[in-house]
Amino acid sequence: MITSHSIRHVRITPIAFRDPPLLNAAGIHEPWALRSIIEIETASGWIGINESYGDQPMLEALAKAAPALTGLSPWALNEMERRVAALVAPLTQTASGFLGQHISLAPGTHVAKTVAKVISAFEVAMLDLQGQLNGAPIVDLLGGAVRESVPFSAYLFYKYAEHIDKPYPPDPWGETLTPEQLVAQAQRMIGQYGFQSIKLKAGTLPPEEEAAGVRALAQAFPGKPLRIDPNGNWTVETSLKIVQQLRGLLEYYEDPAPGLEGMAAVARECEVPLATNMVVTDFAEFRRNADMGCPVKIVLSDHHYWGGLRATQRLSTLCQTFDLGLSMHSNSHLGISLVAMTHLCASVPQLTYACDTHYPWQDDEVIEGGRLQFDQGSLKVPTAPGLGVTLDYEALARLHDNYQRCGIRFRDDLAQMRKYDPSFTGAQPRF
Pair 349, 147: CB distance under 8 Å = no
Contact residue for a copy of itself among 90, 143, 206, 369 (CB under 8 A): 143
Beta strands (DSSP E) in 167-292 are 198-201, 226-229, 250-254, 274-276
Rounded Cα distance between 375 and 190, Å, is 11
Contact residue for a copy of itself among 161, 290, 292, 414 (CB under 8 A): 290
77 binds a copy of itself (CB under 8 A): yes
112 binds a copy of itself (CB under 8 A): no
Pick from 285, 272, 286, 281: nearest CA to 300: 281
Nearer to a copy of itself (CB atom), residue 154 or residue 324: 324
Question: Which range touches a copy of itself (CB under 8 A), out of 100-108, 135-143, 216-224, 241-249?
Answer: 135-143
- Rounded to a whole number of angstroms, the minimum distance from the CB of residue 144 to a copy of itself is 4
| Residue 9 annotated in active site | no
141 binds a copy of itself (CB under 8 A): yes
Side chain identity at 381, as an amino acid letter? V
Question: Which range touches a copy of itself (CB under 8 A), out of 55-63, 76-84, 188-196, 259-267?
Answer: 76-84
Contact residue for a copy of itself among 67, 144, 206, 370 (CB under 8 A): 144
Q: Which of the following is catalytic: 113, 304, 329, 333?
A: 329
Question: Which range touches a copy of itself (CB under 8 A), out of 28-36, 80-88, 266-274, 404-412?
Answer: 80-88
Rounded Cα distance between 185 and 285, Å, is 35
Nearer to a copy of itself (CB atom), residue 58 or residue 133: 133
Distances (CA, A) of 429 to 28, 231, 232, 257, 412: 16, 9, 6, 7, 18
- Bridge pairing between strands 250-254 and 226-229: parallel
For residue 108, give the 3-state DSSP assignment.
Answer: helix
Cβ count near 323 (within 10 Å): 8
Q: Which residues contact 313 (CB under 8 A, 6 or more apart)?
A: 142, 143, 344, 347, 348
Q: Which of the following is catalytic: 201, 303, 333, 343?
A: 201
Site residues for a copy of itself, 349-388, by CB under 8 A, read 349
Contact residue for a copy of itself among 196, 239, 347, 416 (CB under 8 A): 347
Question: Which range touches a copy of itself (CB under 8 A), out of 57-65, 144-152, 225-233, 239-247?
Answer: 144-152
Side chain identity at 228, as an amino acid letter? I
4 binds a copy of itself (CB under 8 A): no
Torsion of CA 351, 327, 282, 78, to 10 degrees: 40
Pick from 315, 297, 294: nearest CA to 306: 315
For residue 78, give the 3-state DSSP assignment.
Answer: helix
Question: Which range touches a copy of itself (CB under 8 A), out of 25-33, 69-77, 210-218, 387-395?
Answer: 69-77
**Peptide bond connecting 167 to the previous residue in cis, omega within 30 degrees of 0:** yes
As a whole number of angstroms, the longest Cα–Cα distance in the chain is 63
283 binds a copy of itself (CB under 8 A): yes
71 binds a copy of itself (CB under 8 A): no
**How many Å separate Cα 71 from the centre of its chain?**
31
- Rounded to a whole number of angstroms, the minimum distance from the CB of residue 48 to a copy of itself is 15
| Residue 166 annotated in active site | no
Site residues for a copy of itself, 301-320, by CB under 8 A, read 310-311, 313-315, 317-318, 320
Q: Give the active site residues.
A: 201, 329
Q: Which residues bind a copy of itself (CB under 8 A)?
A: 1-2, 73, 75-82, 133-136, 140-146, 283-284, 286-287, 290, 310-311, 313-315, 317-318, 320-322, 347, 349
